[in-house]
């Protein structure tokens, strides 16, 4: 009986010592570096998108489909075409995959379609308005901002376009 208690206490101590050792090995800077890298990646991506959209004038972007950062005034494009909001998070692997596929196939976006990239982490009001509870959600909207259709998980541009009503 005493031997069992001693063995149990010994095992508990070994587990505790192992946990403390593991925790002390982890560097808090690693988490901060990851976060900083994600933020800089997101900022760089936004900068590139702004440069891309700045190079096209408004008429040119209406002549062919577009993929650009969200702004409320761009919803008016739904009067003459389809507007899809893509709730994207830079830390989301499936969002990055769809983003890369859209970027690689930009020329495949039909002229009447505008895909607006919405920052999932900062656009809380839009998430609430459309009932978006997780990233990688796409929402087709009317010119007045009303929801037409909402879906999630399209892994490719073609898959997303197939969902548009």
pTM, two decimal places: 0.62
Domain that holds residue 72: 35-163
pLDDT at 106 over 60: yes
Provide the pLDDT for residue 31. 45
What pLDDT is recorded for position 86? 96
Mean pLDDT computed over 98-125: 94
57 occurs within a structural domain: yes
Give the chain's domain count: 1
Least Cα distance to 127 among 74, 164, 155, 86 occurs for 86
DSSP 3-state of 122 = coil
Per the model's pLDDT, the better-predicted residue between 161 and 20 turns out to be 161
pLDDT of residue 102: 94
> What phi and psi, each to the nearest 5 degrees, are found at residue 138?
-115, 140
Residue with tokens 């830390």: 91
Q: For residue 121, with 0-12 CB atoms within 10 Å meaning exposed, 13-18 middle and 19 or more buried, which class applies?
A: middle
Q: Does residue 109 fall inside a structural domain? A: yes
| Contacts (Cβ under 8 Å, ≥6 apart) of 91 | 38
Q: Is residue 127 part of a domain?
A: yes
Contact 126, 104 (CB under 8 A): no
Within 10 angstroms of residue 143's Cβ, the number of other Cβ atoms is: 13
What pLDDT digit, counting tens, does each position of 116-140 carry? 999 999 999 999 999 999 999 999 9
* Arithmetic mean of pLDDT over the chain: 80
Place of tokens 């990055």: 96
- DSSP secondary structure string for all residues of 32-43: HHHHHHHHHHHH
Q: Is residue 77 part of a domain?
A: yes
Of 152, 121, 109, nearest to 41 (Cα)?
121
**Residue 23 domain-assigned?**
no
């Amino acid at each position: 009986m005493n031997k069992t208690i001693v063995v149990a206490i010994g095992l508990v101590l070994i587990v505790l010592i192992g946990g403390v050792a593991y925790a002390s090995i982890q560097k808090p800077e690693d988490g901060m570096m990851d976060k900083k890298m994600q933020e800089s990646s997101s900022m760089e991506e936004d900068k590139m998108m702004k440069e891309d959209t700045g190079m096209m004038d408004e008429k040119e972007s209406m002549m062919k489909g577009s993929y650009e950062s969200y702004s409320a005034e761009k919803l008016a494009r739904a009067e003459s075409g389809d507007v899809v909001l893509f709730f994207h998070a830079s830390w989301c692997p499936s969002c990055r995959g769809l983003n890369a596929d859209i970027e690689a196939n930009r020329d495949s976006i039909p002229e009447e379609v505008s895909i607006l990239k919405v920052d999932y982490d900062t656009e809380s009001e839009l998430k609430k308005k459309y009932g978006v509870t997780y990233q990688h959600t796409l929402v087709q909207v009317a010119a007045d901002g009303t929801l037409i259709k909402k879906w999630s998980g399209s892994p490719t541009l073609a898959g997303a376009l197939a969902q548009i009503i």
